[in-house]
């Protein structure tokens, strides 16, 4: 990577970080159902069968001021507003928050009934649903009345309703409740569907079966007008009271989107996987260009010694050493003959014999002559070894 490319990459990463720091904090978890902690759960963002999006849209279409809160505690609710806490989670931390929400002046508490798993092939659809345990339902109900009980698969026979409510519910396998502390707004022989109680801080209405306001069931029978009449019963229309759906009890909060969390949610996870594969391919393609550079071969040294060494290695590799030795011996003999003024028409063997007949000449090597032998014979013949000894 060149310096220019590296600078462009650093600049692009810095720009992306600045844009993320500016844009991401402006989004809230409730701003889009894509960030839903439970995309098919019983919330006002959910389009699934057990969600409450249709009920919220119905109130909005009727001109009722509707908002969604993710703050918890309920202290933000004004005296004229109705806080709807629908099917909250039943862990200890959430139940503690719901208990605080019940101190608001007007509260509609909807008991949990079902939970579901998402369909892997159709986002925001239920693959299957099941009933939550009776203990989970009682954990929420006992926040309003510690002595209340629930009745499942009850009968809707013997309807008794308050004049403020309109219509009869259409619910399969209804979930009712029994309570001495609550005034029945809509009751049957087996128990109450909607009850109301007064507290020191205000009024709490409890809806025992959330199927009344669920997306899949809201349009059946008189469910829609009945659900709206419950809200209107609590809401002071003359004072312009609003309806606030709480989503803190479903895992939402006011903290901004977690950008890494979004990357691993459907459908963004598909893009994340593709980006990861592209990055792996890029790393694999460029792997040979990373790390320490490969060592270069040493440059050839200048001078006669390096030239001789290189020539020797080349001759050794080519297997021509015997030829070179023979030529070397011939040249030594001819050079010696020239210094002793031998006849010029003699061959090597004749020249060695002529030189050896001289007075005081050392005996010439016989047979196959080695370079070392001919060199030593020449030095003795010309007296070079004595000169060197005297010089040393």
Question: Is residue 66 domain-shared with residue 170, that is, in the same domain?
Answer: yes
Question: Is residue 243 domain-shared with residue 332, that is, in the same domain?
Answer: no
Q: Quick one: pLDDT band at residue 84, thresholds 50, 70, 90? A: very high
Mean pLDDT estimate for the chain: 80
Question: Is residue 335 domain-shared with residue 264, that is, in the same domain?
Answer: no
Closest CA to 24 of 12, 35, 38: 35
pLDDT in the model for residue 76: 66
Question: Is residue 341 domain-shared with residue 212, that is, in the same domain?
Answer: no
Question: Is residue 278 domain-shared with residue 350, that is, in the same domain?
Answer: no
Domain containing 368 equals 320-391
pLDDT in the model for residue 389: 40
263-284: average pLDDT? 76
Q: Quick one: pLDDT band at residue 28, thresholds 50, 70, 90? A: very low
CATH number, domain of 141, equals 3.40.50
- Does any domain span residue 16? no
- Does any domain span residue 208? yes
DSSP assignment of 132-185: PPHHHHHHHHTTT-TT-EEEES----S-EE-TTS-S----SS-EEEE-SSSEEE
Question: Is residue 243 domain-shared with residue 348, that is, in the same domain?
Answer: no
Question: Is residue 83 domain-shared with residue 107, that is, in the same domain?
Answer: yes
* Token code pair at residue 225: 């007008």
Q: What's the whole-model pTM score?
A: 0.59
Among 102-116, 118-132, 154-168, which range has the highest average pLDDT? 102-116
Question: Is residue 238 domain-shared with residue 134, that is, in the same domain?
Answer: yes
Q: Quick one: pLDDT band at residue 392, thresholds 50, 70, 90? A: very low
Contact 125, 48 (CB under 8 A): yes
Eight-class DSSP state of 91: S
* Token code pair at residue 23: 């844009």
pLDDT in the model for residue 288: 59
- Does any domain span residue 313? no
Residues 6+ positions from 218 with CB-CB distance below 8 Å: 54, 55, 58, 212, 224, 227
Q: Quick one: pLDDT band at residue 194, thresholds 50, 70, 90? A: very high
The domain boundary, picked from 285, 303, 338, lies at 285
pLDDT in the model for residue 379: 79
Buried b (16+ CB within 10 A) or exposed e, 99-112: eebbbbbbbbbbbb
Question: Is residue 275 domain-shared with residue 184, that is, in the same domain?
Answer: no
Question: Is residue 281 domain-shared with residue 225, that is, in the same domain?
Answer: no
pLDDT in the model for residue 349: 77
């Amino acid at each position: 990577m060149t310096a220019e490319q590296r600078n462009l990459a650093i600049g692009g990463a810095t720009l992306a970080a600045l844009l993320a720091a500016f844009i991401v904090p402006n989004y809230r978890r409730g701003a889009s159902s894509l960030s839903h902690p439970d995309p098919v759960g019983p919330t006002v963002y959910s389009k699934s069968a057990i969600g409450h999006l249709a009920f919220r849209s119905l109130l909005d279409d009727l001109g009722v001021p509707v908002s969604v809160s993710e703050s918890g505690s309920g202290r933000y609710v004004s005296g004229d507003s109705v806080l709807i806490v629908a099917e909250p989670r039943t862990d200890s931390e959430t139940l503690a928050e719901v208990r605080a929400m019940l101190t608001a002046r007007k509260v509609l508490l909807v008991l949990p009934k079902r939970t579901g798993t998402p369909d892997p092939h159709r986002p925001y659809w239920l693959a299957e649903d099941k009933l939550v345990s009776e203990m989970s339902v009682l954990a929420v109900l006992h926040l309003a009345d510690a002595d209340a009980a629930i009745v499942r698969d009850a009968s809707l026979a013997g309807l008794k309703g308050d004049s403020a409510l309109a219509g009869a519910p259409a619910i399969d396998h209804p979930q009712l409740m029994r309570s001495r502390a609550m005034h029945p707004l809509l009751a049957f022989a087996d128990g109450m569907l909607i009850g109301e109680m007064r507290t020191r801080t205000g009024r709490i209405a409890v809806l025992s079966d959330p199927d009344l306001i669920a997306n899949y069931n809201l349009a059946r029978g008189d469910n829609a007008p009945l659900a709206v009449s419950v809200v209107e019963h609590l809401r002071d229309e003359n004072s312009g009271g609003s309806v606030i759906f709480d989503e803190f009890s479903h895992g939402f909060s006011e903290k901004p989107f977690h950008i890494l969390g979004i990357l691993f949610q459907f459908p963004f996870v598909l893009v994340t996987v593709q980006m990861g594969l592209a990055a792996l391919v890029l790393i694999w393609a460029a792997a040979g260009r990373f790390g320490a550079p490969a060592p270069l071969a040493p440059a050839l040294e200048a001078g006669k010694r390096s030239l001789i060494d290189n020539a020797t290695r080349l001759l050794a590799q080519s297997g021509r050493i015997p030829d070179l030795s023979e030529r070397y011996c011939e040249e030594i003999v001819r050079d010696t003959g020239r210094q002793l003024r031998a006849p010029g028409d003699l061959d090597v063997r004749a020249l060695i014999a002529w030189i050896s007949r001289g007075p005081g000449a050392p005996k010439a090597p016989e047979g196959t002559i080695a370079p070392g032998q001919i060199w030593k014979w020449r030095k003795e013949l010309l007296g070079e070894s004595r000169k060197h000894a005297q010089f040393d």
